[in-house]
């Protein structure tokens, strides 16, 4: 059985107690008055005063209680109810604004309610936008994967297929090993693939394998997805054609060799017979003619066969497996780094290009060539002013030219150099062998005009265009595409909402406080606030050479020494940079009059509105003490990394955080535009001036 | 009668070319290496040079370069001969100043045509 509390509610009991106390006091007063009246027997106004005095205690209790109930207890109860409703739902109706002695809480309470309501709305909106964005990204990714013509698979660390695209389905059409969740081993049961997958570099560097699959040869490229849980991306190319092309060359060479043997045998035997032929009788004349004819025909066929073989060998060399695409600028740089520092003199000129080459072999080749050039150029031929590297584009070839001031290297020297072994390469191939590897040769020519000469090295062109992509710089910590929706900076700013203001919070560290007597800036720091958010990476921090020693007592505060500012720009230069940084933003500082004075000494023009968190805080909480940055940081629970207070950038960040804490309070009081805020601030200045008088 | 100097280290080729050029009506001298070729040219300038690339001692390219840098042989018509037939060699020969290029084995008729055409171009006229 449920226990039933028979007691009255607490506040009713309190009221009962109060009424009882009042009644008892009044009754006691009446009895006391009656007794006194009887004892003293006074009359007239003395008797009235006696009775009033006796009733005063009870009356006071009754009236004080009544006042407390009306002005404090009832408003508190209403507030409690209102808060309870608010906790339950920010959309609940606002039945009771704070009243009685709690009326002052009205704006803050309304602000709490509005903020909560807005935050809830923003959260819901962000959630739905996030979901929509995620869905869009997924759709685009899926679409991209499906239209991508390269077959690709994504495997987890257990080699199970997590993703496959349409191209992969087409590529492995009918293969039972292909399917989500299946292991790649079922698709390609090769130990080398399994080993490669487990040993992939974590940074995403690709590894390549050539694997047989049914009737095909597959070139498989594997890479670990960086920052993933061991997931790997596998792409496939059908290398059968390339393979068979190479096989085709080999087969062609074999076939041509057989032909050559046949033709050579035919020519040799015909020649042998010709030698043995006797005098020129009729029979031998006929035979001689036939043999000569045979020699002619087979000789011609021999020529064709040899020419064909030459082309096949050229093709094979051009398709050399070790030749990889190289971007000429990368090559020049690698070559320059390889050279002796005293000979780091290669200046790439002209248009860079891709070419196919065995980079280490080419670098060793050119390194050796440069040494040879310096040693063997004709006296006075090389003026030692370094080389220029230029790429020329040709038909299926690019020309790697090394140019110098002086005469060309004689062909004989070049031929001698080609016979030298490149000892820095494995097996020490000769320069001629490296040239042959690239189906190339090398020659030296004087340029038109005769003042300069070049070495020309033709190399197979690579089928790539455009410069390699630069490494992407790390993403900034913060993106805000809402910036595009901000009003134009040209619009009148006075009516702009404080939230939409672009603000630069800044702070200066100085040699001392007497700015008008020669103290000046040693450090300037600032950060930017956009859409009521402080941008973490959009900062300005600059030491400034004060052109005077920094007093030890100032160094004790900000820690900046003369050594720190040695070589730093002068204030005028730093302010010019700062002015660019500020752009169209409004300035914000704590005790801005000091900092504005500090940055206005060199004639730099900062004509934009200036906000001051010191003045704003004073205007909001006139009755409170402690409006210095440290007190306010404590009041608004602003934390900052140790050691950053009293650095210009650190204080600028604290000022920005303080502004963001003050902003909702300003808005709650209807101060939500620049105009109204400047008015509030001006009022605070007036009050300050008045109190200073 | 135009004089042709044939330079090749392969005796059979040298013999054939000598015979072929004589048949075509040219006066032929021969050399079997780069040094002797240069000596022959110094002794008397031919109207045309058939120059093999692969020679013992100084190579055909070397001979070509020396002839092109000397004032009196700068415009001597030169046809290069090679057994390699690689594109890049042809390009190198032309870059160093050869007038034409023939890959071994060659068609005798084609060679004679080239020699005649080149001599006609350089105003030495046919034999």
Cα B5 to Cα A492: distance, rounded to the nearest angstrom: 92
Q: What is the CA radius of gyration of chain A?
A: 46
* pLDDT tens string A649-665: 989 999 998 998 888 88
* Identity of the residue in A397, A411, A458 whose CB atom sits nearest the CB atom of B61: A411
User: Got the DSSP string for A215-229?
Assistant: TEEEEEEEEEPTTSS
Is-above-0.90 flag for pTM? no
* pLDDT tens string A216-275: 778 889 999 888 888 899 999 887 766 556 556 666 776 777 778 777 777 877 777 777
In angstroms, the separation between the Cα of residue B122 and the nearest Cα of chain A is 23
Most confident of A10-14, A67-71, A159-163, A512-516: A67-71
Residue A310 is predicted with a pLDDT of 78
**Mean pLDDT over the full length of chain A:** 80
Residue A5 is predicted with a pLDDT of 43
Residue A525 is predicted with a pLDDT of 94
| Count of C-beta atoms within a 10 Å radius of residue A93 | 8
* Identity of the residue in B85, B88, B95 whose CB atom sits nearest the CB atom of A307: B85
Residue A246 is predicted with a pLDDT of 59
- Mutation pick from B63, B86, B108 vs chain A, by most beta carbons of A within 10 Å, is B86
* pLDDT tens string A610-656: 899 998 988 887 767 778 888 888 877 777 776 677 889 989 999 99
* Identity of the residue in A307, A439, A445 whose CB atom sits nearest the CB atom of B95: A445
Chain B residues within 8 A of A310 when measuring between CB atoms:
84-86, 103
Cα A623 to Cα A535: distance, rounded to the nearest angstrom: 33
**If 0-12 CB within 10 Å is exposed, 13-18 middle and 19+ buried, where does residue A14 land?**
middle
Chain B residues within 8 A of A267 when measuring between CB atoms:
none
Q: Is A299 on the interface with B (CB under 8 A)?
A: yes
Q: Is A450 on the interface with B (CB under 8 A)?
A: no
Closest CA to A400 of A356, A344, A339: A356
Closest CA to A608 of A482, A519, A506, A508: A506
Structure tokens at A144: 């991209």
Residue of B nearest to A445 (CA): B96
Cβ partners under 8 Å of residue B100, min gap 6: B79, B80, B114, B118
* pLDDT tens string A34-74: 998 888 888 888 888 988 988 888 899 999 989 988 898 88
By DSSP bridging, strand A152-155 and strand A161-164 are antiparallel
* Identity of the residue in A302, A415, A456 whose CB atom sits nearest the CB atom of B105: A302
Say yes or no to pLDDT of A537 above 90. no
Q: Per the CB < 8 Å rule, is B64 touching A307?
A: no
The helix/strand/coil state of A621 is coil
At CA A606, angle to CA A603 and CA A611, rounded to 5? 140
Cα A628 to Cα A590: distance, rounded to the nearest angstrom: 8
The helix/strand/coil state of A235 is strand
Cα A339 to Cα A91: distance, rounded to the nearest angstrom: 75
Average pLDDT score over residue span A283-290:
76
Residue A484 confidence class, pLDDT cut points 50, 70, 90: very low
Q: Is B71 on the interface with A (CB under 8 A)?
A: no
* pLDDT tens string A395-454: 778 899 988 888 888 888 888 899 888 888 777 788 988 888 788 899 998 888 878 889
* Identity of the residue in A310, A443, A456 whose CB atom sits nearest the CB atom of B86: A310
Structure tokens at A251: 């087969």
Q: Per the CB < 8 Å rule, is A299 touching B105?
A: yes
Residue of B nearest to A310 (CA): B85
Higher per-residue pLDDT: A333 or B9: B9
* pLDDT tens string A582-592: 888 899 999 88
Q: Is A289 on the interface with B (CB under 8 A)?
A: no
Structure tokens at A124: 């819901």
User: Got the DSSP string for B45-107?
Assistant: --SEEEEES--SSS-HHHHHHHHHHSGGGTT--EEEEESS--HHHHHHHHHHT-SEEEESS--
Chain B residues within 8 A of A439 when measuring between CB atoms:
86-88
List B residues 7-46 in contact with A (Cβ-Cβ < 8 A): none
Closest CA to B16 of B93, B105, B84: B105
Residue B82 is predicted with a pLDDT of 81
Say yes or no to pLDDT of A557 above 90. no
Residue A242 is predicted with a pLDDT of 65
Residue B126 is predicted with a pLDDT of 40
Helices first, then strands: H and E counts in chain B = 5, 5
Q: Per the CB < 8 Å rule, is A307 touching B103?
A: yes
CB of A653 within 8 A of CB of A644?
yes
Residue B23 confidence class, pLDDT cut points 50, 70, 90: confident
Bridge partners of A461, per DSSP, are A355
* Identity of the residue in A314, A443, A445 whose CB atom sits nearest the CB atom of B87: A314
Residue A693 is predicted with a pLDDT of 36
Distances (CA, A) of A565 to A101, A594, A627: 57, 21, 31
Residue A73 is predicted with a pLDDT of 85
Residue A20 is predicted with a pLDDT of 92
- Mutation pick from A400, A443, A447 vs chain B, by most beta carbons of B within 10 Å, is A443
Say yes or no to pLDDT of A479 above 50. no
> What are the strands of the beta sheet with A452-460, ordered from one edge?
A346-349, A387-393, A397-405, A452-460, A443-446
Residue A463 is predicted with a pLDDT of 65
Cβ partners under 8 Å of residue A502, min gap 6: A486, A489, A528, A529, A530, A583, A584, A585, A586
Residue of A nearest to B61 (CA): A411
In angstroms, the separation between the Cα of residue B85 and the nearest Cα of chain A is 7
Q: Which of A4-13, A309-318, A476-485 has the lowest mean pLDDT?
A: A476-485
Q: Which of A273-277, A478-482, A490-494, B97-101 has the lowest mean pLDDT?
A: A478-482
* pLDDT tens string B46-71: 999 999 998 888 999 999 999 998 99
In angstroms, the separation between the Cα of residue A243 and the nearest Cα of chain B is 24
Q: Is A407 on the interface with B (CB under 8 A)?
A: no
Length of chain A: 693
Higher per-residue pLDDT: A538 or A197: A197
* Identity of the residue in A300, A307, A443 whose CB atom sits nearest the CB atom of B95: A443
Length of chain B: 127
Q: Per the CB < 8 Å rule, is B84 touching A310?
A: yes
Residue of A nearest to B57 (CA): A412
Q: Is A440 on the interface with B (CB under 8 A)?
A: yes
Residue A367 confidence class, pLDDT cut points 50, 70, 90: confident
Residue A486 is predicted with a pLDDT of 38
Chain B residues within 8 A of A307 when measuring between CB atoms:
85, 103
| Count of C-beta atoms within a 10 Å radius of residue A631 | 13
Residue A381 is predicted with a pLDDT of 47
Distances (CA, A) of A348 to A181, A344, A401, A456: 52, 12, 10, 14
Residues A397/A400/A406/A410 CA torsion (nearest 10 deg): -60
Higher per-residue pLDDT: A145 or A363: A363
Residue A490 is predicted with a pLDDT of 43
Chain B residues within 8 A of A397 when measuring between CB atoms:
88
Q: Is B91 on the interface with A (CB under 8 A)?
A: yes
Tell me A446's DSSP state: E
Residue of A nearest to B97 (CA): A445
Q: How large a percentage of chain B has pLDDT more than 70?
A: 94
Closest CA to B87 of B66, B77, B99, B101: B101
Say yes or no to pLDDT of A388 above 70. yes
In angstroms, the separation between the Cα of residue B16 and the nearest Cα of chain A is 13
Q: Is B74 on the interface with A (CB under 8 A)?
A: no
CB of B46 within 8 A of CB of B74?
no
Say yes or no to pLDDT of A593 above 80. yes
Closest CA to B22 of B125, B105, B115, B122: B115
In angstroms, the separation between the Cα of residue B66 and the nearest Cα of chain A is 8
Residue A4 confidence class, pLDDT cut points 50, 70, 90: very low
In angstroms, the separation between the Cα of residue B65 and the nearest Cα of chain A is 7
Peptide bond into B105 cis (omega under 30): yes
Say yes or no to pLDDT of A487 above 90. no
Cβ partners under 8 Å of residue A688, min gap 6: A615, A618
Q: Is B112 on the interface with A (CB under 8 A)?
A: no
Q: Is A271 on the interface with B (CB under 8 A)?
A: no
CB of A313 within 8 A of CB of B116?
no
* Identity of the residue in A310, A397, A456 whose CB atom sits nearest the CB atom of B95: A456
Q: Per the CB < 8 Å rule, is B105 touching A415?
A: no
* Identity of the residue in B64, B89, B106 whose CB atom sits nearest the CB atom of A441: B89
Average pLDDT score over residue span A353-380:
80
* Identity of the residue in A411, A441, A458 whose CB atom sits nearest the CB atom of B65: A411
Say yes or no to pLDDT of A1 above 50. no
Say yes or no to pLDDT of A483 above 50. no
| Count of C-beta atoms within a 10 Å radius of residue A565 | 19
Say yes or no to pLDDT of A168 above 80. yes
In angstroms, the separation between the Cα of residue B80 and the nearest Cα of chain A is 15
Closest CA to A16 of A72, A69, A75: A69
Cα A177 to Cα A184: distance, rounded to the nearest angstrom: 7
Q: Per the CB < 8 Å rule, is A303 touching B106?
A: yes
Residue A378 is predicted with a pLDDT of 59
Say yes or no to pLDDT of A511 above 80. yes
Residue A480 confidence class, pLDDT cut points 50, 70, 90: very low
Say yes or no to pLDDT of A380 above 70. no
CB of A277 within 8 A of CB of A287?
yes
Say yes or no to pLDDT of B40 above 90. yes
Most confident of A227-241, A566-580, B38-52: B38-52
Q: Is A24 on the interface with B (CB under 8 A)?
A: no
Q: Per the CB < 8 Å rule, is A306 touching B105?
A: yes
Cα A456 to Cα A402: distance, rounded to the nearest angstrom: 7
Residue A63 is predicted with a pLDDT of 92
**Mean pLDDT over the full length of chain B:** 86
Q: How large a percentage of chain A has pLDDT more than 70?
A: 84
Reported as half-sphere exposure (CB side, CA atoms, 13 A), residue B39 has a value of 8
Q: Is B81 on the interface with A (CB under 8 A)?
A: no
* pLDDT tens string A291-313: 788 788 888 888 888 888 877 77
Q: Is B54 on the interface with A (CB under 8 A)?
A: no
Cα A513 to Cα A539: distance, rounded to the nearest angstrom: 25
Residues A626/A630/A632/A638 CA torsion (nearest 10 deg): -160
CB of A336 within 8 A of CB of A346?
yes
Backbone angles phi, psi at A541, to 5 degrees: -145, 125
- How far from the centroid of its chain's Cα atoms is residue A238's Cα? 36
- Mutation pick from B105, B106, B108, B109 vs chain A, by most beta carbons of A within 10 Å, is B105
Higher per-residue pLDDT: B26 or A684: B26
Distances (CA, A) of A526 to A237, A588, A661, B122: 53, 9, 18, 79
Q: Which of A224-233, A488-497, A554-563, A584-593 has the lowest mean pLDDT?
A: A488-497
Residue B27 is predicted with a pLDDT of 93
Say yes or no to pLDDT of B7 above 80. yes
The helix/strand/coil state of A108 is helix
Cβ partners under 8 Å of residue A44, min gap 6: none
Total beta-carbon pairs less than 8 A apart between chain A and chain B: 53
Say yes or no to pLDDT of A3 above 50. no
Residue B127 is predicted with a pLDDT of 45
Structure tokens at B92: 């190198």
Q: Give first-to-last CA distance, chain B, whole Å.
A: 5
Q: Per the CB < 8 Å rule, is A310 touching B85?
A: yes
């Amino acid at each position: 059985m449920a226990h039933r509390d028979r007691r009255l509610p607490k506040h009713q009991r309190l009221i009962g107690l109060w009424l009882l106390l009042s009644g008892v006091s009044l009754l006691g007063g009446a009895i006391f008055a009656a007794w006194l009246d009887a004892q003293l027997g006074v009359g007239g106004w003395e008797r009235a005063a006696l009775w009033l005095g006796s009733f005063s205690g009870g009356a006071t209790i009754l009236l004080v209680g009544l006042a407390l109930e009306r002005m404090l207890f009832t408003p508190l109860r209403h507030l409690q109810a209102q808060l309870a409703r608010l906790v339950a739902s920010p959309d609940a109706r606002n039945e009771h604004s704070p009243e009685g002695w709690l009326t002052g809480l009205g704006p803050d309470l309304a602000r709490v309610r509005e903020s909560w309501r807005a935050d809830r709305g923003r959260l819901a909106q962000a959630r739905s936008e996030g979901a929509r964005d995620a869905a869009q990204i997924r759709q685009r990714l899926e679409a991209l994967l499906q239209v991508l013509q390269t077959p690709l698979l994504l495997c987890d660390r257990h080699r199970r297929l997590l993703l496959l695209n349409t191209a992969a389905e087409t590529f492995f059409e009918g293969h039972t090993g292909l399917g989500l969740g299946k292991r790649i081993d079922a698709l390609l049961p090769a130990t080398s693939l399994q080993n490669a997958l487990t040993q992939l570099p974590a940074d995403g560097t690709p590894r390549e394998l050539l694997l047989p699959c049914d009737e095909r040869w597959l070139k498989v490229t594997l890479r670990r997805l960086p920052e993933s849980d061991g997931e790997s991306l596998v792409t496939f190319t059908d290398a059968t054609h390339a393979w068979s092309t190479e096989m085709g060359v080999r087969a062609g060479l074999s076939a041509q060799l057989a032909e050559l043997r046949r033709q050579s045998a035919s020519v040799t035997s015909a020649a042998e017979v010709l030698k043995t032929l006797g005098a020129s009788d009729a029979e031998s004349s006929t035979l001689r003619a036939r043999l000569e004819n045979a020699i002619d025909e087979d000789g011609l066929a021999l020529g064709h066969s040899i020419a064909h073989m030459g082309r096949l060998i050229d093709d094979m060399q051009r398709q050399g497996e070790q030749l990889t695409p190289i971007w000429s600028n990368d090559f020049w740089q690698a070559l320059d780094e390889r050279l002796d520092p005293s000979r780091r003199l290669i200046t790439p000129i002209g248009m860079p290009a891709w070419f196919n080459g065995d980079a280490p072999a080419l670098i060793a080749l050119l390194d050796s060539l440069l040494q040879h050039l310096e040693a063997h150029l004709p006296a006075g031929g090389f003026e030692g002013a370094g080389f220029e590297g230029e790429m020329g584009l040709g038909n299926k070839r690019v020309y790697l030219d090394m140019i110098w001031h002086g005469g060309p290297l004689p062909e004989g020297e070049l031929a001698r150099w080609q016979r030298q072994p490149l000892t820095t390469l494995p097996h020490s191939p000769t320069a001629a062998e490296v040239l042959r590897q690239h189906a190339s040769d090398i020659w030296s020519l004087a340029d038109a005009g005769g003042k300069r000469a070049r070495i020309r090295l033709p190399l197979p062109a690579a089928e790539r265009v455009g410069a390699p992509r630069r490494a992407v710089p790390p993403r900034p910590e913060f993106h805000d595409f809402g910036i595009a929706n901000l009003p134009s900076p040209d619009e009148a700013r006075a009516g702009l909402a404080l939230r939409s203001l672009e603000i630069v919070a800044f702070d200066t560290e100085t040699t001392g406080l007497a700015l008008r007597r020669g103290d000046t800036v040693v450090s300037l720091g600032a950060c930017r606030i956009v859409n009521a958010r402080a941008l973490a990476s959009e900062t300005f921090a600059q030491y400034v050479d004060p052109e005077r020693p920094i007093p030890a007592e100032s160094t004790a505060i900000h820690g900046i020494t003369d050594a720190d500012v040695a070589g730093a720009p002068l204030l005028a230069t730093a302010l010019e940079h700062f002015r660019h940084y500020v752009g169209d933003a409004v300035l914000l500082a704590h005790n801005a009059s000091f900092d504005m004075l500090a940055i206005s000494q060199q004639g730099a023009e900062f004509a934009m509105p200036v906000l001051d968190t010191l003045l704003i805080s004073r205007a909001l909480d006139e009755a409170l003490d402690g409006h210095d940055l440290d007190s306010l940081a404590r009041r608004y629970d602003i934390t900052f990394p140790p050691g950053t207070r009293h650095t210009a950038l650190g204080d600028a960040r604290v000022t920005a955080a303080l502004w963001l804490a003050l902003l909702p309070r300003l808005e709650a009081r209807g101060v939500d535009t620049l105009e109204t805020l400047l008015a509030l601030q001006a009022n605070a200045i007036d009050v300050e001036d008045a109190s200073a008088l | 009668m135009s004089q042709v100097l044939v330079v090749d280290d392969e005796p059979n080729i040298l013999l054939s070319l000598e015979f072929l050029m004589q048949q075509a009506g040219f006066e032929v001298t021969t050399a079997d290496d780069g040094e002797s070729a240069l000596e022959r040219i110094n002794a008397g300038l031919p109207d045309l040079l058939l120059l093999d690339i692969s020679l013992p001692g100084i190579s055909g390219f070397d001979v070509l370069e020396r002839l092109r840098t000397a004032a009196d042989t700068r415009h001597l018509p030169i046809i290069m001969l090679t057994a390699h037939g690689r594109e890049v060699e042809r390009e190198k020969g032309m870059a160093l100043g050869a007038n034409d290029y023939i890959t071994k084995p060659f068609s005798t008729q084609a060679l004679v045509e080239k020699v005649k055409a080149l001599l006609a171009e350089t105003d030495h006229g046919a034999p």
